[in-house]
Structure 1
Amino acid sequence: MKFISTLKAERSIAQLLAERDMQAPEARKALESLRRIGATAIPKLIEAFATAEKEQVPALVQTLASQVNDRTLKEVIAGLAQGNARCVSGTAAALAAAGDYDPNGLLAYLGRDDLSVSALIDVLRATRQRLNARELLRRAYDLEPREKAAVFRIIAEVATADMVPDLLNRLEGKDPSVRVHIIEVLARFNTPEVAKALEEQLKDKNKAVRKAALLAVENMPGERNLALLCMILRDPDLEARSKAIDLVVKARHPDTMKHLVEVLRDESEDARRAAVEVLNGIAEVATLKYLLAALEDQDWWVRSRASDALAKIGGPKVMDAVLQLVRDPDENIRRAAIEILNQTRDQRAVEHLMAATQDKDWWVRERAADALAEIGSVKAVPALVKMLGGDVRSAPAAVRALGRLGDSKIMPTLMPLLDHADKAIRLEAVAAVARLADHQNASTVKARLQPFMAGADETIAKAAAEAVVRLDNRFSATAVEAAEKQERNASPNRTLLVEPAEVERIVREAESGQKLDVSLLNQGDMIEGRYRYIQKIGKGAFGTVVLVEDTVVDERLILKFLNPNVSQDEEMMKRFVHELRYSRKITHNNVIRIYDFLNLGGNYAISMEYFPSHTLGAEINGKKPLPFEKSRGWAIDIATGMSVAHQVGIVHRDLKPANILINDEGLLKIVDFGVAAVASHADTQLTKTGYVIGSPKYMAPEQILGKKVDHRADIYSLGVIMYEMLAGVPPYSKGDHMSVMYQHVQGRCKPCEEINPGIPAALAAVVRKAMEVDKMKRYESMDELRLAVQAG
């Protein structure tokens, strides 16, 4: 009998597939015959999907669905084991459409290797409202990860409130992936009991569980457990910290500060950054005051780390609150606020800091003077001069700041301080007058300092001797000639080395005018009627470098045109002006002179000394050590030039062989001051332009880690350069940029004397100390490093 039914089914299917119109009499007759045949037709119906036309498939699906019941389910399920994808798809569609069977019978087939699990899950999703969610939950544990995730999504749609106790119990299970899915299901039930249970999952050791719990509690009503959320601010996972920041800010709980104190104390810089990001969203004067007061009793390094984080990451709300706290009645709060401002270089702080120079607390006065020096605002000079007539305890800081901000006009005020009764004031005065001396009064200052060199006080004598050496370096015959050359090559009509407000005006005018296309210049073309184009020297991420002749003074010079994607940022232009003003003060034979910063044909260009030469990189390209005397001599020259730069407050930040030029006579000059310094203040914008702040092979660890950079970063870079000159290879070069940077932070390079055993032990020791990962263990200054190299 079954044989005959099978033959009838085959004939009916053949008739059906011969018809294109499923409403035709023959097609309808064939479909009715297949329905009457019953379960025997099921295998043939499934096989028919393989050859059916698109318009025939719906009729086959409906016919197969009519045969599905609890007795025939096993035969229909076999269609999901077919090797033909169309047969599997048709079978799944029929199971989804059928209504005369219990779909819970499908659960027994979950996890079968011989079936299409994805097709089965599609059927379960289509029939989810008729499923037993508890049984589905029980079966889900045994599935592979992808199938498990899909089944739990179905559970989330069908779970009811009566399942919550069972789901809560299952949160204590061992499988983290299952617990993540259960958390996602529970997130649908906004009850206090569920919220509390999910918050407890924030303590879990598994990262995925913590993140799932964070996402789940985000949209739940009611108060959150702030202590647990703040705990996630210390989470090693960036995404988890970011979500916790959002939740804590959103909560705006009155007790937030109590918990943030603990996070700001944390050893992890990432945790401290997260705490400050919360403050950026909720900071007010009162809340920040509470925070600073709570940190008062901590060890100094804890307070220092917290201040550093607030200064580096604090946004407008934090800075506005800090500026208000500079005038707080509490001495300790004022101290903490000043310490934060000392690290920000925020121009908005100038007026507040000037007022703080008259604070009744000498420490606040001292740190305010230091902060004003860091910001570099000349507006602060009168306030600093006024400090000199006050408490002697803060006067040294005022002298030090005047040495950074003043000019030769302030010399009559500083010179008498060389004879002050207080030793600290005398020391700062020695450094300040040496720094501010110009070619008109250099001889007078030198004569005034020379008697101190033979004095009884060794500290004063040493400081005076170093100051005289610096004066000799700056005002030798060649240095004076270079300064005169700079004046000749300056272009007052087009200079951008003006006040910030003027920079804004010039930027707007340049944007509105027609721009010169540097790439189209030909030899002999005139630029702004003064500079005759000779040739292009090179091009980098920052700009295009060309050689021109200044027809006004008949001298060749270099113009470095900034790329448009760098020069369109008004804030960056202000920083260029600020940095290049200082860079322009560097007058030394071992430094390429910067003449001016110009607006030429709607473009911005740095004009600088032309120095026919090759780079130090070309000298060490052969991967062979350089002669010791040559390495020692060039290291001394670099240290000497860098010392002069550091004295005027300029840190290079990108000291490398490519930025060190040497001519055929062996004269060495350092180039590209100011550019990297500007980049470090605008790294977001410059990352977009492709500029990397510093070169990985020569970058100091603190620079790689995004920490505050000072002159000791240049000392580290010089140590790396010395290593390469002496060993023939850099200390770290294997792998990509990220790998090299990581190696610098680890600080485990092979000693240079192991690579080249001939290196004198004293010279190897100099390299080792210069390259210390901890910057506090390096040489204090380039002068100290230079003396060590000379002695080695």
Structure 2
Amino acid sequence: MIAFTDKINALLMSNDVSGLIDALKSHDFTVRREAAVALERMADERSADALMDALRYEEWQKDYPILAGVRAAAARALGKIGNPSAVKPLLRALEDPDDEVKIGAMRSLSEFPSEESLRAIEKFVDHPSEDIRRNSIESIAGLDPELGLRYASRALGDSSWMVRKTAAKVIRRFGDKRCLEVLLDNLNDPDTEVRRHILLAVVNMGEYAVDPLLEKLSDPQWQTRAMVVEALGEIGSRRAVPRLKGMLAGRRRDENRYVRGKVAEALGRIGDPAALEDLHMALRDPYLFVRRKAREAIDIIDVEPDLEEFHDGEISFRYPRFWNIFETRDGERLIDAWSDNLKIAIKRRRAEGLTADEFSEIILEVLNMRGLLNIARSNITVDSEHGYMITADTKNERVVTFIFKKGGYIYYIYFRGPIEDLKESYKYIRVFINTLHVEIQGYGERGDG
């Protein structure tokens, strides 16, 4: 296996299209699959005819499931190459017995706008497979945004969270205001990631969504009110402040403690000093969650003039303007920053079998081995996930690390600098951590996340 993989890689690196086409006809079906994947990566026009031949399904292939991988790669490659002669073979591939081949054909057909492609894909919006349903909606949206939005709006009621998430992402991408009502009706989706994308789709509509959201604050379900409040905070409209203040403290305060906490959080995001009196009143709320969110909001409003917002599609947070933020994207490291003597980094690592607790134990062991002093670990919530804050000192410096897990990755945020500098930056670090959000991409999904 290693030998033929090395050979295919060598052909790919040398841009040897002819050699890969020959490998695509190998009697060894594993070689065929590797060659098809290599040609998909290469996306060279010279391989189009061979890939169209490889895409053709014949009855005898049902006994060799590995060949479905060849056909799926061929389908995807033809979309990347963009030769219109591939349309008819791709349309035939929609009838392939393998779902991945169907999906590859849909994705590629969305690169060739035509009524024929649109109608062929439209037949799959009610398919039993959730993967096919979500890919059909996304492909239709690529061909005809108007029709795609209609199917996406309907799909917000799908039984599969994956389909609902894709539907919300499609609506978010095109930002059609006519979809606002259906989005608001589904703010209380049972899945966290779906709710997040619905929320982002509403937020993308900006001020247009504020009045309908304010009307929705009277919804009898506390979960819906909480999402509405969060959307108002994300939009950041000061028109919402009077109503939100009334929900936080005094005679008209919301009966649900979680909603009150989200109200405090939203007021912090909006950043209007007019909310400070009510936030200070909320510091006396009987519930810790509300008091904590009020304290965080007061911190944010206090430093609001100094703040910038960072959002790269995966990570978002607020930070002081005097931190120099650099995107790195070199493997595990996502962000580098510094402020005078303070160094900051955001890292991640794939960790399917590792918990945040186990990873924090590893960090504690490393710090002990390096002889750091005053090592301490405490529980903390980051982006609604349970995590840990670890602090440790050298002779002149302090290290503060935040650790949490989301979507199969361990995220760890690292601050290091002179103890006094770190003490002075604590309020900004709190704002940074309290506003941090990681947007999870589903495995194998398309889209912008």
Question: Structure 2 length normalisation: TM-score?
Answer: 0.50
SS in 2 for 1:694: strand
Residue 366 of structure 1: CA displacement? 0.6
How far off is 1:746 after superposition? Answer: 5.7
**In the alignment, is the contact (CA less than 8 A) between 2:110 and 2:140 conserved in 1?**
yes
Q: CA deviation at 1:316?
A: 0.7
Amino acid at match of 1:695: T
Q: Which amino acid aligns with 2:327?
A: G
Change (3 A) 1:221 1:423: closer
Distance across 1 between alignment mates of 2:17 and 2:274: 76
Where 1:353 maps in the other structure, the secondary structure is helix
The equivalent of 2:185 in structure 1 is 328
- Check if 1:407 corresponds to 2:40: no
**Of 87, 99, 108, which aligns to 1:218?**
87
Question: Percent of aligned pairs with the same residue?
Answer: 15
2:131 to 243, 253, 263: 263
Give me the whole-angstrom Cα distance separating, in 2, the residues matched to 1:259 and 1:671: 50
Deviations 1:442-464 (A, max 9, x none): xxxxxxxxxxxxxxxxxxxxxxx
Q: Distance in 1 between matches of 2:118 and 2:59?
A: 19
Instruction: Go from structure 1 to structure 2 and tell me whether the alpha carbon gap of 1:311 and 1:185 turns closer, same or farther (over 3 Å shift).
Output: closer
Q: In 2, distance between residues paired with 1:768 and 1:274?
A: 46
Which residue of the partner structure matches residue 340 of structure 1? 197
The offset of 1:227, in angstroms, is: 7.3
Structure 2 residue runs without a partner (length 5+): 1-15, 40-45, 310-315, 377-389, 392-398, 416-424, 431-449
Q: Relative to structure 1, is the Cα distance of residues 183 and 386 closer, same or farther in structure 2, using a 3 angstrom cutoff? A: same
Aligned to 1:651, the other structure's residue is in SS state strand
Question: Deviation at 1:284?
Answer: 4.6
1:315 aligns with 2:173: yes
- Alignment check: 8 A CA contact 1:366 1:397 kept: yes
Q: Aligned ranges for residues 168-207 of structure 1 at < 5 Å?
A: 176=32, 184=49, 204-206=68-70
AA partner of residue 205 (structure 1): G
The 5 Å alignment of 1:28-177 reads 146=18, 176=32
| Structure 1 residue 231 displacement after superposition | 2.2
Amino acid at match of 1:288: A
Q: Which residue of 2 aligns with 1:759?
A: 371
Q: Is the 8 A contact 1:399 1:429 kept in 2?
A: yes
**Aligned equivalents of 1:650 and 1:391: distance in 2?**
28
Q: Per-residue CA shift, 1:560-603, capped at 9, x if unaligned? A: xxxxxxxxxxxxxxxxxxxxxx4x246xxxxxxx9xxxxxxxxx
In structure 2, what is the Cα distance between the partners aligned to 1:758 and 1:212? 50
Q: For the Cα contact (< 8 Å) 1:417–1:426, is it kept in 2?
A: yes
Note the alpha carbon deviations across 1:482-530, whole angstroms, 9 max, x for none.
xxxxxxxxxxxxxxxxxxxxxxxxxxxxxxxxxxxxxxxxxxxxxxxxx
Q: For residue 94 of structure 2, what is the amino acid of its counterpart?
A: N
Distance 2:28 2:271 in 1: 69
- For the pair 1:243 / 2:111, whether they are aligned, the reply is no
Report the structure number with the largest CA radius of gyration: 1
SS of 2:69's equivalent? coil
More helix as a share of residues: 1
> What is the RMSD computed on CA atoms of the aligned residues?
6.2
Aligned pairs for 1:691-702 within 5 A: 694-695=327-328, 701=333
**Residue 651 of structure 1, aligned match among 299, 318, 327:** 318
Secondary structure of 1:358's aligned partner: coil
What does residue 100 of structure 2 align with?
Answer: 231
Using a 3 Å threshold, how does the CA distance of structure 1 residues 400 and 212 change in structure 2: closer, same or farther? closer
Q: Over residues 641-686 of structure 1, what are the superposed CA-to-partner deviations in whole Å (9 max), with x where a residue is unaligned?
A: x9xxxxxx9634xxxxxxxxxxxxxxxxx8645x85xxxxxxxxxx
Q: For structure 1, which runs of at least 5 residues remain unmatched after alignment?
A: 1-143, 151-169, 189-193, 266-271, 438-473, 475-581, 587-593, 595-641, 643-648, 653-669, 677-692, 705-712, 724-740, 788-792
SS state of the match for residue 410, structure 1? helix
Aligned partner of residue 294 in structure 1, secondary structure: coil
Distance 1:768 1:377, change over 3 A: closer
**Correspondences of 1:606-621 after superposition (within 5 Å):** none
Contact 2:156/2:167 (8 A) holds in 1: no
Amino acid at match of 1:251: L
Q: Distance in 2 between matches of 1:286 and 1:185?
A: 37
Structure 2 CA distance for aligned equivalents of residues 222 and 332 of structure 1: 35
Q: Which residue of 1 aligns with 2:230?
A: 370
Relative to 1, partners in 2 of residues 1:761 and 1:420: Cα closer, same or farther, differing over 3 Å? closer
Q: What's the offset of the Cα at 1:367?
A: 1.3
Change in 2 beyond 3 A, CA 1:185/1:307: closer
- How many Å apart are 1:368 and its aligned residue? 1.8
Partner Cα distance (1:755, 1:396) in 2: 35
* Equivalent residues in 2 for 1:376-455, closer than 5 Å: 376-388=236-248, 389=252, 391-393=254-256, 394-420=259-285, 424-433=289-298, 435-436=300-301
Structure 1 residues 499-510: aligned runs within 5 Å: none
Question: 2: distance between equivalents of 1:418 and 1:700?
Answer: 39
Structure in which a larger fraction of residues adopt strand: 2
**Contact 2:122–2:136 at 8 Å: present in 1 too?**
no
Distance 2:348 2:27 in 1: 43
* Corresponding letter in the other structure for 2:318: V
Q: 1:509 maps to which residue?
A: none
> Are the structure 2 counterparts of residues 184 and 382 from structure 1 closer, same or farther at C-alpha, using a change threshold of 3 Å?
same
Residue-pair matches, total: 335
Distance between the aligned counterparts of 1:212 and 1:408, measured in 2?
Answer: 55
Shift of 1:762: 5.6
SS at match of 2:239: helix
- Separation in 1 of the partners of 2:102 and 2:428? 42
Q: Which residue of 2 aligns with 1:164?
A: none
